[in-house]
Structure 1
Amino acid sequence: MQPWQPLLDWWFGAPAAPGEQAARQNGLWFGYRPEQDAEARQHFGGPVERALRGELNWATEPRGWLAELICLDQLPRMIHRGTPQAFAGDARAQALLDEGLQRGWDHQLSDLERVFCYLVLEHAEDLSRQDRAVAAFAELLARQAGADRAPFQSFHDYAEAHRRVIARFGRFPHRNAILGRPGSDAERAFLAEPGSSF
């Protein structure tokens, strides 16, 4: 078994149709439960810390690359939730993503696995990368049919919402307090709106 397989098994669960799989795993991926964060820390804290130091080296093939991206982009947001360390892997994730995209590795993954490559783009405080995220999620959505369209529509809608925030502010205002960045009056007004934080 490859060293990244336990992480992918936990993250994606048992194989199923994309719509069914997304519905089953959505709470892990996008919800917040302290026990899930603790489980991530207990089982995958070691790989995450090695990834953050640039020492994991799983990106030798597409699925290892995907797992390392999850260790840099998704899991720090769980393991280090509410702290600056939650975003500590972002720059390394962006660079690693670009390397894999240049190799075409995303096209060797399932559509649902590709979501967690393109979320790296969606997390960037950079408008050109946000444009790429929206285009990537639009491509994934166009490939879906029937019950599988709903989660991919949601992924696309969230990508567009993230892009709008970056187009307006050039950064995600909801990160300001965590990262110790002063906010503008416009950002504070925005954060008072329902649904303004991701």
Structure 2
Amino acid sequence: MAGFTSTLPRTLLSPSLYTHVHNVWFQGVAPHAKITSREAMTRWFDQGSREDRRAFDETCTKEFAAALESIGPEKFPLPPSNSFSEESAAAENIAGPLMQSINTSDGETKSMQTLALILLLDQIPRNIFRTRQAVIYTHYDRLAGAVLRSLMSAESRPDMHPSLRLAPARRIWFYMPLMHSEHIEDHETYIKVVSEMQEEFREQGDKQSEDYIGDSLEFEKRHKHLIERFGRYPHRNAQLGRSMTKEEEEYLLSGGEHFGTAV
């Protein structure tokens, strides 16, 4: 991992793509919304009918598959990683080529485009690659994590720009790569950052936003519990070719969490 550098081939990443990501993902959600609609929650978290899920998957595939393939593992290979420290050390070099597509001359534009890039890398692959989940966990999650780690260490954080700071319905999506990680350090960061966000709204007396963020923290705790217990997500084992421990097998057979990974 030491000394890793990467260059990005010609891709389809562009400002117009990022605008389209926002339009598709946040359909029906106002730009500065405090909370989101039931319709959007149903769309995002597979709570609707099989037909609804298939329709949204097809939209994501039609609109964004080509862009994701242009930065897929064959076009943008990543180095092996065996630890959180290795992943963190490579973050800037992995994220750098991806961030070249972001307009940094305007703070609001940079924030919105960076959020769109994270959504493209972290969320949309889960709708497109349901039957190829290994590529999500081994490639796109790593890209999303690298982008997030690089922005969290930046002097001016895009997630804290005034255009998004007080819009939890959008801002919360910046941090989802941390929830998807199998590194406990990332989960600790999620709880720290999102708890600080919740406290900010509590101090403002905005209980609606405070409760909305609280729901996300409770969801994160369910994820963190599995990393603390197993050191990984058991439901990913089959897709990643990992041997199942007896405890993991018993957990899954007893109705353990799959977090919306149904095909």
Common fold: TM-score over 0.5: yes
2:174 to 92, 117, 130: 117
Q: Which runs of 5+ in 1 are unaligned?
A: none
Contact 1:125/1:172 (<8 A) preserved? yes
Q: Is the 8 A contact 1:51 1:72 kept in 2?
A: no
Corresponding residue number in structure 1 for 2:188: 131
Aligned pairs (5 A) from 1:31-70: 31=46, 33-52=53-72, 53-54=75-76, 57-60=100-103, 61-70=110-119
Q: What is the count of residue pairs matched by the alignment? A: 197
Q: Which has the higher contact order (CA 8 A, sep 6+)?
A: 2
Runs ≥4 residues deviating over 6 A: none
Partner of residue 191, structure 1: 252
TM-score calculated relative to the size of structure 1: 0.88
Say if 1:82 and 1:158 are closer, same or farther in 2 by CA, change over 3 A. farther
Once the two structures are superposed, the pairs formed by residues 170-181 of structure 1 within 5 Å of their partners are: 170-181=231-242
Once the two structures are superposed, residues 137-174 of structure 1 have per-residue CA deviations (whole angstroms, 9 ceiling, x without a partner) of 22233326343344322211011111111011111001
CA RMSD of aligned residues (A): 2.2
- State how far apart, in whole Å, the 2-side matches of 1:59 and 1:126 are: 27
Q: Indicate the residue corresponding to 1:86 in structure 2.
A: 136
For residue 34 of structure 2, the aligned residue among 18, 28, 53 is 18
Match of 2:44 in 1: 29
For the residues of structure 1 that align with 2:218 and 2:254, how far apart are their CA atoms? 18
The reply to whether residue 101 of structure 1 matches residue 121 of structure 2 is: no
1:127 to partner: Cα distance: 0.5
Distance, in Å, in 2 between the alignment partners of 1:173 and 1:117 is 25
Quick one: structure 1 residues 174 and 118, their matched pair in 2 at CA, closer, same or farther if it must change by over 3 Å?
same
For 1:65, give the aligned amino acid. Answer: T
Contact persistence 2:168–2:209 (CA under 8 A): no
List per-residue Cα deviations over 1:59-113 (Å, max 9, x = no partner).
3422211111111110111100132123220111111111112221111123222
The answer to which structure has the higher helix fraction is 1
